[in-house]
Chains A and B, each alone.
Chain A
Amino acid sequence: MSKQASGRAQTVNAGRPWLGLTAFAGVSATFVMGLVVAPKDEQQRDAYRLLYMHVPAAWLAYLAFTVTAIASALYLVPRTRHLRWDYLAGASGELGVMFTALMLAGGSLWGKPVWGQWWAWEARLTTTAILLFLYLGYLALRRIGGSPQQRATRSAIAGLIAFIDVPIVHFSVSWWATLHQEGSVFNDKMQLHIRDGVMQFTLLLAVASFTLLYVWMCMRRMELLALDEGLAERELQLAIDERSNRPATTNPVTV
């Protein structure tokens, strides 16, 4: 078996059904808790319910891009270089883009009734928008041709460069005077205090279930990347054999 095929064989064979079912059950419970069970906030009334979508999305955007950066670094270090790190970086980067888009959209839907506007060019929103476009660029870069190793190397470098914006987004509310409030959960100066037990439980459930969903999706996306690459390589090998009038010599595609 070739080294690349061996790499794919060791890639997580993923998406355990129980994990997906638990995640979707948790997300469904979050929807019920967030929309029906959790009480109104004293100041923001029902508008605060968007927090149960916005906070997990923000947390997962950070987590996903951090995983992409760590996996990229592990690929670039010769001792740990393996294509599975590239698959993990790609899968997590894609999910990070989705959660960043959801964070921006959810924040915008909250901003309209609370701030009176859909969007403001202030530090947190602007740096988050830049983050989204940086990782859209990262995903585009992954689709440019070349060998898997070439793609993995250039993507890993891009993944590390793009990650520079993550701490800037996080600390933007402390570094600059912004319209966006500081941390919503652990900051006593906040307008929105989460002291009610049901509210705290709902937020915890939201973060936990969305995180499980991220793990399940990431494992499945990794497997899909590995399988697609294995199939593409096999097709290429078959085409080369056919052109040189050799009998097919390809290794089986491994999972």
Chain B
Amino acid sequence: MSLDYEHVWGYVLGGYGLTAGALGSYAFWLTKKLRRARRSVREANE
């Protein structure tokens, strides 16, 4: 089997894109949920 190492940028960019997407999405979701929870706690304690 001959391996074509010269044409792998699609795989490489896919891996980096997937990582960036997953980490970015999780951080965004977490920040949004945390802000909402903090606000709810403030309102509940008022």
Contact = CB atoms under 8 A, between A and B. Distances in A.
Given A27-B23, A224-B34, A45 B6 contact: yes
A32 B9 CA distance: 14
Given A213-B23, A220-B30, A253 B15 contact: no
Main secondary structure on A side of the interface with B: helix
A46 B34 contact: no
Given A53-B19, A110-B11, A110-B15, A46 B30 contact: no
Contacts, number: 96
Interface size class of A (residues with CB under 8 A): 35 or more
Contacts of B38: 227, 255
Interface string A76-105: 000000000000000000000010011001
Interface residues of B, number: 31
Given A227-B38, A253-B41, A46 B1 contact: no
Nearest to B9: A46
A106 interface: yes
Given A47-B12, A110-B15, A220 B31 contact: yes
Interface of B: 1, 3-9, 11-16, 18-20, 22-23, 26-27, 30-31, 33-34, 37-38, 40-41, 44-45
10 contacts: A105-B18, A109-B11, A114-B3, A114-B5, A224-B33, A227-B37, A227-B40, A231-B44, A252-B44, A253-B44
Interface of A: 15, 20, 24, 27, 31, 34-35, 43-47, 49-50, 53-54, 57, 98, 101-102, 105-106, 109-110, 112-114, 116, 213, 217, 220-221, 223-224, 227-228, 230-231, 234, 252-253, 255
